[in-house]
Copies of this chain bind each other. A is one copy, B any other.
Amino acid sequence: MIIKKTISVPKETLIEDGVKGVQKQVLLGPADGAPTFTMRQFSVNAGGYTFFHSHDFEHEIYILKGYGIARKDREEIPISADMVILVEPNELHQIVNNGTEELVFLCLIPNINE
């Protein structure tokens, strides 16, 4: 059994074209011996956004704090704390923080992609 405080997990700032104001933490994953899937936590600053992209694996997302928008191909859906999102494989998606406070969410993926 591995137990961690999330605050103890290092934060990586994503610095790439197409992403703004995003920090990532790998809370549980292959490095911990997790066999199947990986739990990451993302913090998005006000005005920030994740990649607008698609890939062949799913996301399972839980919004912990804040509010924003889940963008898909032709639609934008308001999101806020205590909502969950399934992003299906090969589906275009982006999380946008159009609010005034930090947006924090868990995003889990199958291990092979981490």
Contacts and interface: CB of A to CB of B under 8 A. Distances in A.
A14 interface: no
A1 B70 CA distance: 9
Interface of A: 1-7, 27-28, 32-37, 39, 57-58, 60, 62, 64, 70, 72, 77, 79, 82-89, 91, 93, 106, 108, 110
Given A37-B110, A58-B36, A77 B1 contact: yes
This chain's copy number in the assembly: 2
A53 to B, nearest CB: 14
Nearest to A7: B82
B84 A6 contact: yes
Contacts of A79: 3
